[in-house]
Structure 1
Amino acid sequence: MNERFRRPPVRRAVVLFPSGLTLANLFFGVFAIVTASRGNYSQAALWVVCGAIADAFDGRVARATGTGGRFGEELDSLVDAITFGLAPAMIVYFAVFSQDNWSWIWSFLFTACAVLRLARYNVAQAGVSKRYFQGLPSPAAGITLATYFWFSQSPLYAATVDAGWPWHQLIRVVMGVLSFLMISQVPYPVVPKLSLRSFEGIAGIVFLVGGFTMLFTRKFEWFFPMATAYIAFGLLRGLWLGLIERRSGKRSEHRQDEELLDLVDDEDDIDDADVEYERDPAPPPPRRPRAPVLPPMPCVSASS
């Protein structure tokens, strides 16, 4: 058999590798739903985190190998809707809402907002170089919701949250806030390139090292506070930028009003000058005296 058909070329393997990471993300999302249906909610949250790791690398690998395209972007969005929209919502449903008739609406609300967030991203920001996301990214929202179970079952919850507020009641507030932020206009920073030359790069390294440290040391209860810190940072930063933009907008409007008033004053001065000119016109120029008209000379006949 021809060598070409016995072994796929390296280029084809490189093209398929980013899509393989995306499908791994899908595998972890589906497995998280299955695990939650069996009552193992802590393990289900771990699979969502594993899906986030695969999601963080598929796009980077595609850009590094030059194999990114429209197909990969659409596939990534569809998978994110399952892993970070449906899977965390189903974890909460099996853990809290399965015994209630209508509480599953919260799971629907979270999933619907995640899907709307991804659809808006595909229309407005997909394939465009960007520094900020429009609204809370669905992976951040999914990780926050999934890791809430770890946080709520640890002593850290009792130490930081009012003990009179049970965790299964607070989950509704968490889902409502995350759902709203996903479809909001709040700008959230993208995951920066790992580098020691910028503050964003150093912050990315700190978050990456901190995440893997908590994962390997099994300090799972700290994932939720770290995700909450990212959410609070973006929200406070968006409010601060909104206030600055509003103040600058008021200043520009005030400056435009002043320029308009100056223009009106100039027009009034011109109108006043015209009125004065019409009221006191300039005297006419003096008339030149006419030259005297001489009488005609008498004609003298030749005979005289």
Structure 2
Amino acid sequence: MPQFPRRRPNPIGKAPKKPRFSKFMRQQGADAASKPRPRGIYLLPNAFTTGALFCGFFAIVMAMNQRFEHAAWAIFVAMVLDGLDGRIARLTNTQSEFGAQYDSLSDMVSFGAAPALVIYEWSLRGLGKLGWIAAFVYCAGAALRLARFNTNIEVVDKRFFQGLPSPAAAALVAGFVLMMVDLEVPGISLPWVSWVIALFAGLTMVTNVPFYSFKDVNFRKSVPFIAVFLIALGFALVSIDPPKVLFPIFVAYGISGYIVYFIRLAKGKPVSIVQTEEEPVDQSERR
């Protein structure tokens, strides 16, 4: 019978050679991993940003149609949506540079252009040049505030905002309009009050006055029972008469920054909120 050559046994301690096919597959996997992934746009957080942008545009349209109550409520809805998009992006790990820039552009429409046009159409038109100048100061203040926020986010103490945040400034303007409309007070009778509010909100946005940001509040941490009761009480008070409750709340917030500023000044503490120590920066805050 013909004898076939026997295979030599593997030497002790040496593994058998792997076929070249596995080496080829490993090379293909390495090449695929080294290729940059295509940049996509996350749907969920940007859908909320688009909703906030729509509310800002809707507020402008309603102001042009002299329906100021609808315009003011649209700005408040934009505030809610703007607060949700960033938190949803962080919870779902869908942060992106596109989302951060898109959010800033949406804020400029909803909290910059829309409140300026609403208060101009409602009350400032009768002042002529002084009226539209006050509206422009507010609009320019919102633009500068957003630009500074995007550039200083890595050096500013996250516990405080540098200047009045644009959503709070928009709520101050829209809340005043909403309360006066609810009281059936015509805007033409309060032009100088509207002028002062527009200038105050616009200039406060570009100051260095620190405003508490509530970003250090840990919602996952247990709290006393009284805290939950106070939250429920707050919702109940707002629901009683929203126009008359929301405006004083944002007036108090708008003044709180100056109170903190002068308290720090009196105690000799640094007024600037720029961080002096190196701290890890959460890039997701840019949304």
State the TM-score, normalized to the length of structure 1.
0.66
Distance 1:220 1:229, change over 3 A: same
In structure 2, the residue matched to 1:187 is 210
The question of 1:233 aligning with 2:256 is answered: yes
Paired letter, 1:182: M
* Deviation of the 1:230 alpha carbon: 1.1
1: distance between equivalents of 2:270 and 2:154? 31
1: distance between equivalents of 2:195 and 2:58? 24
Q: How does 1:274-293 map to 2 (within 5 A)?
A: none
Distance 1:85 1:177, change over 3 A: same
8 Å contact from structure 1 (residues 81, 114) kept in 2: yes
In structure 2, the residue matched to 1:24 is 51
Q: How does 1:142-291 map to 2 (within 5 A)?
A: 142-154=170-182, 166-192=189-215, 193=217, 194=219, 197=222, 202=227, 210=234, 214=238, 216-245=239-268
In structure 2, the residue matched to 1:130 is 158
1: distance between equivalents of 2:257 and 2:223? 19
In structure 2, the residue matched to 1:141 is 169
The question of 1:108 aligning with 2:131 is answered: no
* Deviation of the 1:49 alpha carbon: 0.2
Deviation track 1:246-267 (CA, whole Å, cap 9, x = no partner) reads 599xxxxxxxxxxxxxxxxxxx
8 Å contact from structure 2 (residues 53, 109) kept in 1: yes
8 Å contact from structure 1 (residues 19, 58) kept in 2: yes
8 Å contact from structure 2 (residues 41, 98) kept in 1: no
Paired letter, 1:53: V
Structure 2 residue ranges without an equivalent (≥5) = 1-38, 272-287
Paired letter, 1:210: G
Paired letter, 1:238: Y
Q: State the structure with bigger RCO (CA 8 A, min sep 6), 1 or 2.
A: 2
Q: Which has the larger radius of gyration?
A: 1
8 Å contact from structure 1 (residues 14, 65) kept in 2: no
SS of match in other structure, 1:133: strand
State the TM-score, normalized to the length of structure 2.
0.70
Query: What is the aligned residue count?
Result: 227
Question: Taking every aligned residue pair, what percent have the same amino acid on both sides?
Answer: 30
* Deviation of the 1:100 alpha carbon: 4.2
* Deviation of the 1:93 alpha carbon: 1.2
* Deviation of the 1:238 alpha carbon: 1.8
Structure 1 residue ranges without an equivalent (≥5) = 1-11, 158-165, 249-304
Distance 1:189 1:246, change over 3 A: closer
8 Å contact from structure 1 (residues 152, 167) kept in 2: no
* Deviation of the 1:99 alpha carbon: 4.0
In structure 1, the residue matched to 2:119 is 92
In structure 2, the residue matched to 1:120 is 148
2: distance between equivalents of 1:247 and 1:80? 30
2: distance between equivalents of 1:207 and 1:104? 39
8 Å contact from structure 2 (residues 68, 181) kept in 1: no
In structure 1, the residue matched to 2:67 is 40
Deviation track 1:134-167 (CA, whole Å, cap 9, x = no partner) reads 111000001110110122345599xxxxxxxx53
Paired letter, 1:152: M
In structure 1, the residue matched to 2:82 is 55
Paired letter, 1:188: F
1: distance between equivalents of 2:159 and 2:184? 33
Paired letter, 2:124: F
Higher helix share: 1
* Deviation of the 1:13 alpha carbon: 11
Deviation track 1:8-28 (CA, whole Å, cap 9, x = no partner) reads xxxx99931001000100000
